[in-house]
Chains A and B, each alone.
Chain A
């Protein structure tokens, strides 16, 4: 596969041979255990699991450690999981709390330094050069996206336009007038910028953008194609979450065959979300991260709920870090229909294939008799509506066929009128499982 950009490596640690990496990981894992022993929550958890730092011989020993989940952060709100004196905290970030009470994470001065370097890694791997100007349309605030990327860009030595979120016509004006080479935002916002640019009479392909670094939400290859087409740039995927550090946990190289995890800073596991046994090579599972270098609030085996697969095959770019796939779903969203694991994101992908852009949809699962039955309700959109019944039936059949080919099971497709599926606070409800509601 041709590289999307010239291969340049920011940090020699990215190409560390695997055996040296394993040694470094074991040593750093012992350091993390010594650090978390400063905190009562972790001290008790480790005592229950009967783990001593000296007992860690290899990175695989991470499997003996207890898990950490989002609720542990909530229960220790606001900064109960701090492992350094409060005076050493240099920064606090947080999650939005869309799914419950907000959670905070903390950084020491050293954490911020390392985090900047981690963002610099994927930015450089994805084409960023010191002579570039970068437009950052991530929110600056408690959300890690804005400041995380900002610091990474400055670390590389490139220029930043800290546009932050909102007021899209103004973003278009900034892009048109300042002509940055690189765009940083969420993938859906990139498409929105292109749309608004067109509405403002600006051809988004003429903005002069060369690279885009997109993250903060799951997206698809189809969306990458659409963004590249609309904005005329090479789009790169990156991954991170505030509990682990923020953006910079993993990012794509020019080969764009998965995101290299910075394994010298994070131990990654891919586990079956129910049994918590390691997923087979290439199989989708829940990603679990353990901090190796974080000082202020390291996590032990943090269950991300993000579903992805890991690829340990060597990458032509020379980076030794394992590659994670796109996030294909959330383990909370996984549905088991007639024994088959199905994710709403798969249904979304099927709809995308047929319609070119994902319409609003709702998956309803019920068990009227002994067998599960799944119905996908799809809102009809003006561009796909025809006055000819034949074409409407064809559209439904194509949706039906794609859903079957992506998920492997038959789901009944029902076309519904627009704006009839419930939306709550901008986030659409994707699944109603009548089987669990009855219980």
Chain B
């Protein structure tokens, strides 16, 4: 059923890079057998689409790049293994910004993804394919990764629920690294309740990822519905500076709902938060410049034709294999790590990162959750910002803070501006996923924004 839907609806959206129909039929049959054998489980036989950043054994894993267009992963990422074990059925691999670098899904080697709400608009990025696929109901849920907002921003722009867990909650093993200290896998779903089920299967310690955290995973579904009475929600002052009135109004409407649910709202300030974009654009490129060194044309991936010598092999394989945004970030990262610039950029950025983290910590001594918009604007036109990197980078102004501090964040639909969905962002302290999911769930019990579908994708 979903496969037919993908064949019919995906072509104009370009949400998928690879369709794994045969795989899916086999996996579905296996799930049927498990069910017939008496096994139960909320994900058994449930169709999903993985962001093409997760390695999938025997299936091309391109990371949206020409560099890995020919790369068939020889192993499954831990996220893939876990969801497979839960019985979920992979239908395909979702389009994405190249190596997860982008906020509009326009940097993909496989072309831009269109927003199902308006195909002239971007779906956001970097997990644009996963978001569009979830919004167009091409699968019951999709996976994504969030380094600076790559789950929450596209979730907001496509009207779905997107969860970025605490750094270390979900294993990064098998997830192609962009910026190791910021990358975190998460989920796109139609509701917080669905996302809770998926996150349950994804989360947990993995001995193969030294940064994954060995702490028990609570039952995320069990606490859904717990009353919000007494919950203190902090309104992030810095998130409203310069926000358009229409968008501000949507957030205030959401706050009214929360107050009606028994929550208290107070304004809080994170003075260093405005520094998060420049900080991020030092730390993330620095790490990516090193992480992407392994793509050298020697062992796997793209290799230029007839290299004259080793240097030529490196230069042309990388020059031809990587797109413009990836190269821009590798160069930025190489620069900020260079002798003579390291202290002024990389070290400084690490210090600011610490200050931002401290700001959040201080805020969470006063409030339980922070709330604000996910993005400054709804989905923008394809092509509008692609030639202006800095404007593009500013799209992540509200989401990057949570990555720098390693905090869990969630975006849920909270209304429309000119027919395009807007997202409400919740950020909580480390390991507060259950609290975030419950707060989102209760909001979704009181509203129907999350159950609206783009026309033609009902």
Decide whether A and B are members of one complex: no
Mark B residues whose CB is within 8 Å of A. Answer: none
